[in-house]
Structure 1
Amino acid sequence: MWYLCGLGSNIDPEQNLVRAVTRLLESHDSLWLSPVIHTRPRGIDTERPFLNALAVVFSPLSPTQLKDHFNQLEEALGRDRSDPLSSRKDRPIDVDILEYSESGRFLGEGIDEPYYRRLFEGRTENSVRASLTVAGHTLGQASATIHRDLRAGDEIVVQQGQHLHDHTVKASLTGQQGL
């Protein structure tokens, strides 16, 4: 199953988004990452700005199983999910499944937040972008497909692109297994 995911952080966001992308690459051999943009908090009791991005991954897990995996990732990076008010507080990382598809084609129907909608539609020209360094590669200014090449000793290969629909992540992941 293909998953369109939203990533967000407003506690040390430059560090925590890098950590989240790195963790995602540990369990998925490839992923597509949108530009990373600065956003204002919405529906949360804070003044701290966020960094947000979209990611696409392939996983044999069901949506419920993958969400459990993402919750574990969030907790490993410091989010207290046992707090009943955690959804209204600052967070080191938030990973949400926005949409899933067997074909890898997304319609954007699960995207409610306007910043994720802009990223999905490729309308980021008026957004302030952030740069992240993952395994020595600068990401965040443009969309990128990131591959983990196990034959080359876990080397990271990055292909920069323009938009979700321009990327090779689907072709490169066909037949691969991951979480």
Structure 2
Amino acid sequence: MKYYLSLGSNIDPVNHLDLAIFELSNIFENTLSSSIHKTPAEGFDGEDFLNLVFCGSCSLSFDELNKKLKDIEDKAGRDRSAPKFSSRTLDIDIVLQLSEDDEILFESDEIAKYSFVSEPLSELL
């Protein structure tokens, strides 16, 4: 499977994105990352976010990978009791899942909704 992941942080973002990329590099092969995009907080007043899209291949199912992503967020100190729109140490979302022959198996609506997902994603597609 090939996955494209949206990563974002606005709390110590450089360190948290570095942690995420390090952890993801242990899960994925043939990895690529977009450039970092700085975007204002959306839906609340807060520090700007640093966002990027990471892609790579692995044999994990969608659900297995999603669990590992939540573990990485937790390792970065993610507060799951915080409101949906609030500052984040780390947010990692699967935005695209492709089969081995590039058939789209999952496509997040976040791609169409948010430029902080679509713009870095377009660098890798």
In the TM superposition, what whole-angstrom CA distance separates every residue of 1:107-137 from its partner, at most 9, and x where no partner exists?
7953131122122223xxxxxxxxxxxxxxx
The 3-state SS of whatever aligns with 2:66 is helix
Q: Larger radius of gyration, structure 1 or 2?
A: 1
Question: Residue in 1 aligned with 2:119?
Answer: 118
In the TM superposition, what whole-angstrom CA distance separates every residue of 1:118-161 from its partner, at most 9, and x where no partner exists?
22223xxxxxxxxxxxxxxxxxxxxxxxxxxxxxxxxxxxxxxx
Give the % identical residues.
27
Question: Residue in 2 aligned with 1:50?
Answer: 49
Alignment of 1:94-109 (within 5 A): 94-103=91-100, 105=102, 109=107
Alignment of 1:18-167 (within 5 A): 18-43=18-43, 45-81=44-80, 83=81, 85=83, 87-103=84-100, 105=102, 109-110=107-108, 111=111, 112-122=113-123, 164-165=124-125
| Offset, 1:65 | 1.4
| Offset, 1:94 | 0.5
In the TM superposition, what whole-angstrom CA distance separates every residue of 1:5-51 from its partner, at most 9, and x where no partner exists?
100000001111111111111222441100111111113x2321000
TM-score by length of 2: 0.85
CA RMSD of aligned residues (A): 2.1
- Residue 103 of structure 1 aligns to which amino acid in structure 2? E
Q: Which runs of 5+ in 2 are unaligned?
A: none
- Residue 19 of structure 2 aligns to which amino acid in structure 1? R
User: Which 4+ runs in 1 deviate beyond 4 A?
Assistant: 106-109
CA contact (8 A) 2:27 2:58 kept: no
Structure 1 or 2: more helix by fraction: 2
Q: Which runs of 5+ in 1 are unaligned?
A: 123-163, 166-179
- Residue 39 of structure 1 aligns to which amino acid in structure 2? T
| Offset, 1:106 | 7.6
